[in-house]
Structure 1
Amino acid sequence: MDTKMADHDGDRVRIILWYVPRTVSIAFIKCLSAIEGMEVWCEAFSYAGMARRQYLDTYGKDIPMEYKGNEEEAHKGAKLFERIVRSKIEPDRIVYGNLKERFEASTSKYVISKEMFIAFPDEKARRYLPSGCRHVFLIRNPYRVFSSYRRAIYEQLKSVGLRSGDPHDRESFDLRKDDPSIDPNTMFVGLHEVWKYIREKVDSNAIVINTDDLLTNPADVLSKFCHETGLPFSESLLQWDASPDVVKTWKAAGNDVIMSAKAFYQTAIHSSRFLPPRPDVPRETLSPDVRQLAEDAMTYFQEMDRFKI
């Protein structure tokens, strides 16, 4: 079903915001949190997808997709993922059936859910994709993405005791094989595959935003985004409250998982506006894992970039 909403008449708006890490997604949804009537979901389905992967790797079978009658399995899945995030995960918030039901039952005028491709990587999971949504994809130059992601994931793993932090360990860390949460090799190919699926099966007018454009010219990109989705645009979206308190209202897999991921979110949750992008880092100074991942991802990025607003 095509969910294009060409005529916005005050109806409720539902958005799935797809992203790869380091595409300014947290600052983006913090900005949108300022819209009256906005309800934000932060990676709720993504945590379900990551817990599903942990469960499969550990137990050799898929975690149940419904919570009722499968409470023990959901509890085991939550405990597995807690070791990475070092924060309490609520078992009923990592089960697809519960999440879909709660998302679709929301009475808020506007709802946006920020998700990685791992949230809905296959047909089994996609049966739980919320209906009636516009779909928006955040992309960014892969060299920027992976160089930033390597720093952030290493700091996150160090903060929970999974890496030592000494110079040799930091240098030997290989993003291609040492990330226990997701496989970085699949980030762009996974996002691209979901984008193709959404365009063909769900929302033929799916929106693509290159977040370097957003950082360079936020007024132009935000106004286009709001026009396309039916959200109200105003100049107030260009400057928002720096307090992180709004983050506490977001729907997530646990009450503290966002605040505990400081290596990823510390700057964004205290943001008050979009800052211009930093200059590119010379490619020859990047680590080998970052260069290879970026080179492998470039084709997928470039195809999607041709459709950006």
Structure 2
Amino acid sequence: MASNEVEPVRVIVWMVPRTLSTVFLKSMSNLDRVKIISEPFTCASAFGPERLVKGAVEGFVDTVSDISSKAEMDMGLDHNLYTYKWVKESLLEGTYPGKVAVVCKDTAMSIPKDKYDMIPRGYRHAFMIRHPNKLFKSWNKMFAAMMPHPGEGFLFSEMLKASGAEGYGFKELFDLYEYVKKSGLEKNPIIIDSDDLLMDPEGILRKFCKSSGLQYTDKLLKFEAGDGVVKQWAASKLQLQANKAVYGVYQAAFDSTCFKKPTNMDPPPRSEFSDDLLECIDVSMPYYEKLHTDRLTV
């Protein structure tokens, strides 16, 4: 780094899928002189040379990869680059001349405890949460859309466990939260509940930026529809192809132009869920409640 350049503020947002994290990242793209990094450890764990998925999920990932690789895509990085060491040293700890901020989002379940030494240095750590009833309803819907042959395969909980989320995502998030505090990597982790973000986007984003050292701008509240901004992100091409060809996991976020408050903020009742999903919810709820207690408030 040139002597006249300032080290950028670096923030990594850990999350469980379906917490509005992609919309959040799209918002962060409107920061001045920012480098955005999307789900690098997720790519390493699912698609990279050291992938961690196991059992029946391996065949499913192979099918997704095969279908996705045929989709036309003019952006993204080669997923074969994504070893854990490369993600840490080249992407997350890399130098970005001219940038004053680096913002990354990723899943906690993609970096198991035996990979904690791959957590990058020099970052503020934030965590995104969402009420488990809302989250698992959305996540299961996404999972169903991903299945090549609906009605066949395995239970949602089995898919999570085979993907490395023995605690269904929330335990992994809480374990990582505890680790960054106890290890000294982060004295004051920032927790955002997606409901709070939807209720008061400006208030939460102002508080988040102040807490993390980022420079707030009203440009964070409105963004253009489409994936044009994604061309500036460091994201794997295969994940972007999978969004286009298989499951559209990011599409609603790419199409969004703001944080839109739903007409009904109540969590769906337990009666809507299968026994399998209720197990995921019940295991997750204590971890969610602990994190929710320390969340960012305005």
TM-score, normalised via structure 1 length:
0.79
For the pair 1:95 / 2:83, whether they are aligned, the reply is: yes
Percent of residue pairs bearing the same amino acid type: 27
On the 8 A contact 1:44/1:93 being kept in 2, the answer is: no
Counterpart pick for 1:106 among 88, 95, 100 = 95
For the pair 1:294 / 2:281, whether they are aligned, the reply is: yes
User: Quick one: distance in 1 between partners of 2:123 and 2:137?
Assistant: 32
Structure 1 residue aligned with 2:18: 22
Structure 2 residue aligned with 1:200: 182
Structure 1 residue aligned with 2:291: 304
User: Quick one: distance in 2 between partners of 1:128 and 1:54?
Assistant: 15
- Within 5 Å, give how 1:13-162 maps onto structure 2: 13-51=9-47, 54=51, 57=54, 81-85=61-65, 86-88=67-69, 90-102=78-90, 103-107=92-96, 108-123=99-114, 125-157=115-147, 161=148
On the 8 A contact 1:216/1:276 being kept in 2, the answer is: yes
TM superposition shift of 1:291: 1.8
Q: Aligned pairs, how many?
A: 270
Structure 1 residue aligned with 2:250: 265
TM superposition shift of 1:57: 3.5
On the 8 A contact 2:45/2:53 being kept in 1, the answer is: no
Query: What amino acid maps onto 1:226 in structure 2?
Result: C
On the 8 A contact 2:43/2:239 being kept in 1, the answer is: no
TM superposition shift of 1:84: 3.0
User: Quick one: distance in 2 between partners of 1:92 and 1:272?
Assistant: 32
Q: Deviations over 1:18-64 (max 9, x none)?
A: 00011000000001101121111111112212347755747xxxxxx
On the 8 A contact 1:92/1:98 being kept in 2, the answer is: no
Q: 1:297 and 1:80, CA in 2 relative to 1: closer, same or farther beyond 3 A?
A: closer
Query: What amino acid maps onto 1:50 in structure 2?
Result: A
User: Quick one: distance in 1 between partners of 2:189 and 2:295?
Assistant: 10
Structure 2 residue aligned with 1:189: 171
Q: 1:91 and 1:271, CA in 2 relative to 1: closer, same or farther beyond 3 A?
A: closer
Q: Deviations over 1:235-277 (max 9, x none)?
A: 221111112111122212x324225324311101111100114
Counterpart pick for 2:209 among 204, 207, 226 = 226
On the 8 A contact 1:242/1:272 being kept in 2, the answer is: yes
Query: What amino acid maps onto 2:128 in structure 1?
Result: L
Query: What amino acid maps onto 1:195 in structure 2?
Result: Y
RMSD after superposition? 2.5
TM superposition shift of 1:281: 2.0
User: Quick one: distance in 1 between partners of 2:204 and 2:228?
Assistant: 26
Query: What amino acid maps onto 2:132 in structure 1?
Result: P
For the pair 1:246 / 2:229, whether they are aligned, the reply is: yes
TM-score, normalised via structure 2 length:
0.82
Q: 1:184 and 1:153, CA in 2 relative to 1: closer, same or farther beyond 3 A?
A: farther
Structure 2 residue aligned with 1:174: 155
Q: 1:151 and 1:56, CA in 2 relative to 1: closer, same or farther beyond 3 A?
A: closer
Structure 1 unaligned runs (5+)? 1-9, 59-76
